Amino acid sequence: MNVRSFKNMSPRTPEQNKVLRQDSQTRIIASALKLFAEHGYSATSIKMIAQEANLAQGLLYNYFSGKEELLRAIFAQSMTDVRESFALAEGDTASNSTVAGVIRAALTLVARKRDFWRLSYGSRMQPALLTVLGDDLFAWTQEIRNTLERYFRTSGAAQPEIEAAILFALIDGVAQHYVLDPEHYPLAEVTETIVARYSM
Amino acid sequence: MNVRSFKNMSPRTPEQNKVLRQDSQTRIIASALKLFAEHGYSATSIKMIAQEANLAQGLLYNYFSGKEELLRAIFAQSMTDVRESFALAEGDTASNSTVAGVIRAALTLVARKRDFWRLSYGSRMQPALLTVLGDDLFAWTQEIRNTLERYFRTSGAAQPEIEAAILFALIDGVAQHYVLDPEHYPLAEVTETIVARYSM
Amino acid sequence: MNVRSFKNMSPRTPEQNKVLRQDSQTRIIASALKLFAEHGYSATSIKMIAQEANLAQGLLYNYFSGKEELLRAIFAQSMTDVRESFALAEGDTASNSTVAGVIRAALTLVARKRDFWRLSYGSRMQPALLTVLGDDLFAWTQEIRNTLERYFRTSGAAQPEIEAAILFALIDGVAQHYVLDPEHYPLAEVTETIVARYSM
Amino acid sequence: MNVRSFKNMSPRTPEQNKVLRQDSQTRIIASALKLFAEHGYSATSIKMIAQEANLAQGLLYNYFSGKEELLRAIFAQSMTDVRESFALAEGDTASNSTVAGVIRAALTLVARKRDFWRLSYGSRMQPALLTVLGDDLFAWTQEIRNTLERYFRTSGAAQPEIEAAILFALIDGVAQHYVLDPEHYPLAEVTETIVARYSM
DNA sequence: AATGAATGAGCCTTCATTCAT
DNA sequence: GATGAATGAAGGCTCATTCAT
């Protein structure tokens, strides 16, 4: 018996309502992420999202104040997901807590969350969207850069800041190229070659 | 209207017209590029472009069949510019025809044509725009990749394809990070560090 | 918003929606037919139709994919109406199934659906509209011509095709002259005189 | 040596200027009539007319105050032509000054001036155009009706007004059907059959 | 919680007309 | 007399959002 079967049973208990809300909200976010990644934010209409999520257009506004907040919600959730996955990967083994580990973790994540990265890379150059997203995205980027810098600093690199910038650019570049054409990109080889180079 | 105007009521000469047309077209393209880069393609209205270019909305359609063709024109022109600049840079000195030369040329160009790169990077993940642009953008990317691969092949690298992918990703990543925040990005140091690494 | 509205916040029933839709669609078609007949298709703007129908411009597109489809819908509906009325008139009495009956039926119908005939006669010479309407209008005309021809053939006329062409032209001509100035045209006398002539 | 060869010889004599004007004006009217008939008045743009007439858009406004006056000019000229042709046909032989003669003359004229009749029939139901054309078209129609009525009155018909209405409708109907599909319409047979009927 | 009809601002585009030369 | 670049007012249409139920 799935969640939707509550639908026509009323009055509902508060718990059922909570489950319903949860379900609808999840479906909306998932549908929106998929369509945003597929067609781009501005080319995706609320109508399309509602259809994909199998609910009425108006209902969307019960959960999100508008299209923009929906975008924010997607980023908030996805960024949390990514952070968690990262933390997990880092904690995996002690040996992973190295530059090589970071590279592997990052590129593995990209492959696992293509849609989000597509959306993210597609939003990054659009001031209108950056405004909507506020400083979150920028702060996140900074956070990553800082983490990398710390790695290089502790490992005694000569120019930790520059090294961090370079590695960040490299990971970001690979991620984007992969996301642009996942079927043909030699992600594994590229990852291992980079890892090897940074393990010397 | 003064007396002289009765004297020569002949139509503008073809040269005069050409100048007028050239001027309008240039202003339109320049304004559009600026605004597309600043706000993104879809967030930029024809009205905004016309205002920025200081001419009537309708005039735009004397020069371009629509917003999409305007985008295509911008890409066509900018891509030509970039190719020319590249060729020039390569021909500069014999010693430049190396991987190091390519890196320097590419990153110098990015700094000189920020707006275009911003637009380009902003368009790359948007299927709607890719459709508009056709295969040009993809073909161009492929061309760059091939050039890099050739360099590595002639220099006897073990995995020329993978090496090319990595260097391309690195350049692309640096370019994007620079374009995202040109004021603060340490482009010179990053470029030189990369060049040094690839000159060994 | 009164207290009762809290009591039953369930969505409209499908029946309620159907009524709403029916009403809007009917109002749109009626308004469009009226204005198309009054000002012509191309001189009638969507805005005018929406105002006449007392609803928002955008709503029109919930029912018709555009102005052209609206025109098609009007023709489809009106042609169906006319066909039905004709069938009814023909079935009226056995004696009606004669040329005289057809003439009377046709001219009566014109008087009852002036607006549609005005629109129809106004569209007939406009290639742009003919394209929109497709072959429907042409097919319909042919159908009428054939019906008339059959009458003459069964009644043993010497040149059934020519006779049909003549009678068709006559009816069409009278219909148009009537529609052009309904207040002053002596439709009844003209009809009866024609009928008398064809009853000999 | 044709008219256009004056073009680059300046200064021009007043006579040459007059010829030039005449030529341009004629070309404009001819082109406009052709295009109006082919695509309809509103679907024909000034640009199209100028191109067809092989002159600059702006020049058109040296001859006609606008699109509407151009339409008026076409009607004025064509109506004059038709009236003259009619007068000529009537004067042809004494025996032609009968109902039969009128029928033949009218239908012959239609075949000779298809474009104009197409435009005329296409304008008749469009109030916007009728307004532009003023009362001319209506007056003309009335004139024809009166002429026919006079014929029937002098020939001692019982209901001259009704008879005139019927014959007018018939001619008009045939003319329209012919104009709608000139290639296939059996104009000759139809004309002769009608003439025969009215010669009894 | 849910529905979907309705709204209206804003977009891209067309085109009659004007204007400087 | 002639040119064609430039103008700007509409027009058709889309779509995020609201509202009654």
Query: pLDDT digits over D79-116, tens only?
Result: 999 989 888 877 765 445 688 988 999 999 999 999 99
How far apart are the C-alpha atoms of C124 and C137, rounded to whole Å?
Answer: 8
**Residues of each domain in chain A carrying CATH 1.10.10.60:** 8-64
**Residues of each domain in chain B carrying CATH 1.10.10.60:** 11-63
| Residue D8 pLDDT > 90 | no
Query: pLDDT digits over D48-89, tens only?
Result: 999 999 999 999 999 999 999 999 999 999 999 998 988 887
Give the per-residue pLDDT at D5. 45
Query: pLDDT digits over A84-126, tens only?
Result: 988 887 776 544 568 888 899 999 999 999 999 999 999 999 9
CATH architecture, domain D1-63: Orthogonal Bundle (1.10)
Gap from C16 CA to E1 C1', in Å?
Answer: 19
- Asked if C38 CB < 7 A from strand F, the reply is no
Give Rg (Cα) of chain A. Answer: 20
Nucleotide nearest to B16 (CA to C1'): E21
- Asked if C20 CB < 7 A from strand E, the reply is yes
Q: Which CATH number fits domain C11-63: 1.20.1050.140, 3.20.20.70, 1.10.760.10, 1.10.10.60?
A: 1.10.10.60
Give Rg (Cα) of chain C. Answer: 21
How far apart are the C-alpha atoms of A144 and A106, rounded to whole Å?
Answer: 10
Gap from A117 CA to F11 C1', in Å?
Answer: 40
Q: Are residues A141 and A169 in contact, defined by beta-carbon separation less than 8 angstroms? A: no
| Residue D23 pLDDT > 50 | yes
CATH 1.10.357 matches A75-200: yes
Give the per-residue pLDDT at A11. 60
Residue lying closest to nucleotide F10, CA to C1': C45
| Residue B45 pLDDT > 80 | yes
| Residue A33 pLDDT > 50 | yes
Pick from B35-44, B81-90, D5-14, D101-110: least confident = D5-14
What's the CA angle centered on C186, arms D200 and C145, to 5 degrees?
A: 65
Give the per-residue pLDDT at D3. 45
How far apart are the C-alpha atoms of B128 and A43, rounded to whole Å?
Answer: 7
**Cross-chain residue pair C193–D129, CB shorter than 8 Å:** no
Q: Are residues B197 and A197 in contact, defined by beta-carbon separation less than 8 angstroms? A: no
pLDDT > 90: what percent of chain B?
74
pLDDT category, B88, cuts 50, 70, 90? confident
Q: Which of A125, A159, A174 sits opposite B169 (nearest CB)?
A: A174
Written as six digits, the tokens of D46 are 């000034």
Could you tell me the fold of the domain covering A8-64?
Arc Repressor Mutant, subunit A (1.10.10)
Residue lying closest to nucleotide F12, CA to C1': C46
Burial category of D179 from C-beta neighbours within 10 Å (exposed 0-12, middle 13-18, buried 19 and up): buried
User: Once rounded to an integer, what is the mean pLDDT over residues A26-35?
Assistant: 96
Gap from D116 CA to E14 C1', in Å?
Answer: 27
Query: pLDDT digits over B67-76, tens only?
Result: 999 999 999 9
User: Once rounded to an integer, what is the mean pLDDT over residues D1-12?
Assistant: 48
Closest-CA residue in chain A for B115?
A125
| Residue A72 pLDDT > 60 | yes
**Cross-chain residue pair C39–D193, CB shorter than 8 Å:** no
| Residue A6 pLDDT > 50 | no
Q: How many separate helices (H) and strands (E) can be counted in chain B?
A: 11, 0
Q: Which residues in D lie closer than 8 A to residue C179 (C-beta atoms)?
A: 125
CATH architecture, domain D74-200: Orthogonal Bundle (1.10)
* A130, A170, A191: best to mutate for the B interface, most B CBs within 10 A: A170
Query: pLDDT digits over A158-199, tens only?
Result: 999 999 999 999 999 999 999 999 999 999 999 999 999 998
* B125, B130, B135, B167: best to mutate for the A interface, most A CBs within 10 A: B125
| Centroid of chain to Cα A187 | 18
Question: What residues 27-86 of chain C have any CB closer than 8 A to a CB of chain D?
Answer: 38-40, 42-43
Spatial neighbors of A189 by CB under 8 A, at least 6 apart, are B159, B162
Q: Which residues in C lie closer than 8 A to residue D166 (C-beta atoms)?
A: 170, 174, 190, 193-194
What CA–CA distances, in Å, run from C18 to A180, C25, C31, C61?
Answer: 46, 10, 20, 17
Q: Taking Cα atoms as reference points, which of C163, C106, C179 lies closest to residue C140?
A: C106
Q: Are residues C127 and D121 in contact, defined by beta-carbon separation less than 8 angstroms? A: no
Closest-CA residue in chain A for B194?
A166
**Residues of each domain in chain A carrying CATH 1.10.357:** 75-200
Pick from A132-136, B106-110, C1-5, C100-104: least confident = C1-5
**Residues of each domain in chain B carrying CATH 1.10.357:** 67-200
pTM listed for this prediction? 0.91
D186 touches chain C (CB under 8 A): yes
- Asked if B9 CB < 7 A from strand F, the reply is yes
Could you tell me the fold of the domain covering B67-200?
Tetracycline Repressor; domain 2 (1.10.357)
Query: pLDDT digits over D160-200, tens only?
Result: 999 999 999 999 999 999 999 999 999 999 999 999 999 86
